[in-house]
Structure 1
Amino acid sequence: MDIHHEAMDASTAEKRAAEILFGLGFDKQMQAKPTRDFSGGWRMRIALARALFMNPTILLLDEPTNHLDLEACVWLEEKLKNFERILVVISHSQDFLNGVCTNIIHMQNKTLKLYTGNYDQYVQTRSELEENQMKQYKWEQEQIANMKEYIARFGHGSAKLARQAQSKEKTLAKMERGGLAEKVVNDRILVFRFTDVGKLPPPVLQFADVTFGYSPDNLIYKNLDFGVDLDSRVALVGPNGAGKSTLLKLMTGDLSPLDGMVRRHNHLRIAQFHQHLTEKLDLDMPALQYMMREYPGNEEEKMRAAIGKFGLSGKAQVMPMKNLSDGQKARVIFAWLAFRQPQMLLLDEPTNHLDIETIDSLAEALKEWDGGLVLVSHDFRLINQVAQEIWVCENQAVTRWEGDIMDFKQHLKKRAGL
């Protein structure tokens, strides 16, 4: 590179760095802070910013949206759409894959299959191909069965029939040499299930004029008034640091308001899922033992079934949990939460260690379940599947968004000038 180019690059470098950091949620003050002062989630963003800043020939991203909020996801999607070089991304966010990808590589049975198009197109093409493959497989198997039966019956009959049997044997051998259609192997679909809980008369959870801040001169919420009932399906959205997780803690009673009241129905069982729950697992202990310790007095079979409901079976139940993948640990947590039979679930970023199929089965389970749900997620598709209301946490308030999550996504794009 000649000196002239380098000088130009150096002059725009700081501007580019600032633009990338800002897109990922770092305001001016944050951009000036040392890296060591940031928590793990923000450090992940710094690593991502660094990778984007280098503008490499090949960019490899493994779950880049995991620690982002909706705003940053929208920004990143737009940024990567226009990435001029090679991008290889692993992600469980279907919405993100749809926005960014032009090809999908499907890994199954130790083989890679390339599809053109985004995620939705891949799903459609794959199901069409599998349907054709299934038809071909059935037809071939029927042919083979008929020929084999003929050979078995007439192979030792009169000369004419025996000759036909031999010709069928040749046809059969030729078919096998040419390669037969394989049976379609479906991805293992997990079915999650939450136990239905019946009804509690509203108001089940009520915020009356609630004000909260970690110190009185730094308020996060002011004068909140709203209720959540057992038929509520709410997604909380808003930038990182706006207090979505704080709001959930006020709901559970982990935090108390500085002013106002949070009233909970006295029979209400709330269960909350969040990232840090896996830290409270005793990793030297198998999942089965852990559940029996947490819920004493239940027989082993019942506990096996409870964990099995969330797709953890056989050996995985009895090996130390430190040998489980992050996704499997997340399933133990879901089993543990579901066993409490909560009437209200508060889910804070439940998808981070789950794969696409598992997220879809979680969505199905939530749709079929009859309890109340408050969800914090950066997965537009999950929100779209399960939420009936979108609440925006911003500027010390919680306001209801008129419209669905895809309208909200457009609004974020406009607001970011994308």
Structure 2
Amino acid sequence: MVSDASKKKAAQKKAAAAAKRGGKAAAAAVAAAASSKAADKAANGIAEMHISDRTCTGVLCSHPLSRDIRVSNTIPPSWAVGSVAWLFYHVAMIESLSVTFHGHDLIVDSELELNYGRRYGLLGLNGCGKSTLLTAIGQRELPIPEHMDIYHLTREIEASDMSALEAVISCDEERLKLEKEAEILAAQDDGGGESLERVYERLDALDAATAEKRAAEILYGLGFDKQMQAKKTRDFSGGWRMRIALARALFMNPTILLLDEPTNHLGILSTLAIVHLRPFRHIQFFDLVILNLVYAFCSTIIVVMIVAIFGNFYLLESLKKFERILVVISHSQDFLNGVCTNIIHMQSKKLKLYTGNYDQYVQTRSELEENQMKQYKWEQEQIASMKEYIARFGHGSAKLARQAQSKEKTLAKMERGGLAEKVVRDKVLVFRFTDVGKLPPPVLQFVEVSFGYTPDNLIYKNIDFGVDLDSRVALVGPNGAGKSTLLKLMTGDLMPSDGMVRRHNHLRIAQYHQHLAEKLDLEMSALQFMIKEYPGNEEEKMRAAIGKFGLSGKAQVMPMKNLSDGQRSRVIFAWLAWRQPQMLLLDEPTNHLDIETIDSLAEALNEWDGGLVLVSHDFRLINQVAHEIWVCANQSVTRWEGDIMEFKAHLKAKAGSGDFSLPKDFSLVVHEWVVPFELDFPQLGRFPLA
């Protein structure tokens, strides 16, 4: 038997070790845990809604200890539970899952199936209930077994005074609570006794001793060096705060990981890197550390480029190798192709599962719908023919009457067996911007413009260019390169440090950005909001203005808190369009929009006669609307000689070949790979194109 004195001594040693391993970041994380939890609630807007806003019905039909999930309203037979027969019931196709939101049916009599080791992309039109379903899972409003922990990521982390490292560590509430409890127990006269031992056993099970190290490794893998990990989250852009949020998700490593639009704010180069950086999959984290040590003694550009390339590749590999259950909502086809093993399509209040990534889903769905339409047409022709025969000869001669009765039986048998349903096409939304005519150039001109938020840190230096009403420009570049800053210089929200921005006296500019959503009073309806913003206009005119962007009927008059993020984005577009701008500046307009809505937006922009400057990480949208590609990096704006797909191919080729030699377009190579991660490397200076 171990004596009490020995136990006390061992407990005191463990307490000292715990304090040492926790470090400053862990201590700060304990203090910040409460505020972090509050910030998470603020970020998860839908999750804050009262449970009564949602009604979810379903019964878990997989074994309670299974790693897979099958949910329905159908209760499994008692003879199956706990027996070998359960396994057969477990793989049966069961229907009847239902989800209602504010009295509106989103899912009716359907099935949810999530298998361990699979990565699901959740698709559907804006407002169909994708985010609501994820929130219902995350809030355990569906019968998810308690042994399966869930982490639901909806938005970038809230800006606060916590450092990036503290923000990641603070998400593990159980560990923080146990460490605090251990500290209190260790301070007691008896040293905590058996209670402290139990706490330490649980901390060991959670691998608490390595928590700070693991968090630092994940952040490093996502592009945060040691200095950046110590920066406050409020000092990061939205893209970098999204990376911190993703780091929290990877740090938690939950059984079920739910990601709602994780590529929002990451930027075009980030999204591309997430999907296409494959040639370095053999390189581990410690190889990156070695490269970093090499950099400490060698300041060559090549080493900088190699070190900087891994941030988003790390994220891709982490998600591609996620061995549990991943469900992700994303409008990025590249991301869905690179990560997902299955697609769940929400349509007509049903969930339908497809095997494969997004491209395979599109092909499979097209083939199934084509076959379904053929079957539907054949059955309808047969039914019409039999009904005509029955009506014509049902009261004729005995022979004809018997044949008619036979056809009636055949028809009844077909109906009992189930008839093919008519293919339901996705609703096509039509956006419309009002044509505004032309203004003589120059409309918007930059003359030797320099700008920096501080005199010692210029974002742009001596840039010259012009934008007219026939311009269709896409700005590309990494997070923090100054794309949004350039748009603010165009609108006049920011003034240049040097040089001049000239605007035509009659030019009307409208800028779309994500912070406009904060302008919406969510207690008001879209119609009430438009009438408030533009008083003196008839209600019918306001209805028509909103209807131009795909919101009609009840969606116009219900409180906007009941609308999806994508539907709220359409309200903002309607609000901007009513001002009849001659130039649109769109900063990440596809965030929260579904793929079909993005296509409608592209079509509307192509039919509109105004000028366009676009910032987007969506290659498809850029390819559809942009005539020019401008690369923002290295204090300059450089025109890319080619379209966006050629730019994408250029980046893929550089990643795929592993060629880090110094080509003629050396400055662009530096822009593409060094700047995306904004590591605190020495200033590279400006490199003119050869």
1:230-282 CA-to-partner distances (Å, cap 9, x unmatched) read 11111111122221111101111111212211111122111110111111123
Asked if residue 68 in structure 1 is aligned to residue 266 in structure 2, the reply is: yes
Retained in 1: the 8 A contact 2:219–2:244? no
Structure 1 residue aligned with 2:309: none
Partner Cα distance (1:183, 1:295) in 2: 43
Match for residue 386 of structure 2 among 140, 147, 158: 147
Amino acid at match of 1:351: T
2:469 aligns with 230
Q: Counterparts of 1:245 and 1:35 in 2: how far apart (Å)?
A: 19
Identity of aligned residues (%): 84
- What does the per-residue CA deviation read over 1:285-330, in whole Å, with 9 as the maximum and x for residues that have no partner? 3221222232233222111111011111112212332332222211
Listed as ranges, the matches of 1:17-416 within 5 Å are 17-22=218-223, 26-35=224-233, 38=236, 42-53=240-251, 59-77=257-275, 78=313, 79-80=315-316, 82-83=320-321, 85-86=323-324, 87-412=326-651, 414=655, 416=673
In structure 1, give the amino acid aligned to 2:601.
Answer: L
**Aligned residue identity for 2:273:** W
Structure 2: which 5+ residue stretches go unaligned?
1-203, 276-312, 656-671, 675-690
The structural deviation recorded for 1:198 is 2.3
How far apart are the structure 2 equivalents of 1:169 and 1:310? 48
Q: Do the aligned partners of residues 248 and 365 (structure 1) sit closer, same or farther apart at CA in structure 2, a change above 3 Å counting?
A: same
Of the structure 1 ranges 234-243 and 405-414, higher mean CA displacement relative to structure 2 is found in 405-414
Q: Distance in 2 between matches of 1:336 and 1:55?
A: 41
Q: Distance in 2 between matches of 1:370 and 1:274?
A: 21
Moved more, 283-292 or 310-319: 283-292
> What CA distance in whole angstroms lies between the structure 1 residues aligned with 2:418 and 2:400?
27
Unaligned runs of 5+ in 1: none
| Closer, same or farther: CA 72–211 of 1 in aligned 2, 3 Å | same
Tell me the secondary structure at the aligned position of residue 231 of structure 1: coil
SS state at 1:373 partner: strand
When normalised by structure 1's length, the TM-score is: 0.90
Which protein is bigger by CA-based radius of gyration?
2
Q: Distance in 2 between matches of 1:391 and 1:176?
A: 60
Contact 2:606–2:625 (CA under 8 A) maintained in structure 1: yes
**CA apart distance, 1:11:** 11
2:69 is aligned to: none
- Quote how far apart the aligned CAs of 1:155 are: 1.1
CA shift, 1:225, in A, is 0.4
Q: In 2, are the aligned partners of 1:20 and 1:52 still within 8 Å (CA)?
A: no
Contact 1:286 1:318 in 2 (8 A): yes
Query: 2:528 and 2:258 mapped to 1: Cα distance?
Result: 39
**Which is worse superposed, 271-280 or 87-96?**
87-96
Q: CA deviation at 1:409?
A: 3.4
Task: Please tell me the residue identity of whatever aligns with 2:222.
Answer: L
1:53 Cα offset (Å): 4.3
Contact 1:104 1:116 in 2 (8 A): yes
Is the 1:20–1:53 contact (alpha carbons within 8 Å) kept by the matching residues of 2? no
Tell me if structure 1 keeps the 8 A contact 2:219–2:247.
no
Q: What one-letter code is carried by the residue in structure 2 that aligns with 1:389?
A: E
Cα 1:84–1:132 change in 2 (3 A) is: same
- Aligned partner of 2:296 in structure 1 is none
Q: Which has the higher contact order (CA 8 A, sep 6+)?
A: 1
The TM-score, its normalising length taken from structure 2, stands at 0.56
Q: By how many angstroms is 1:43 displaced? A: 3.5
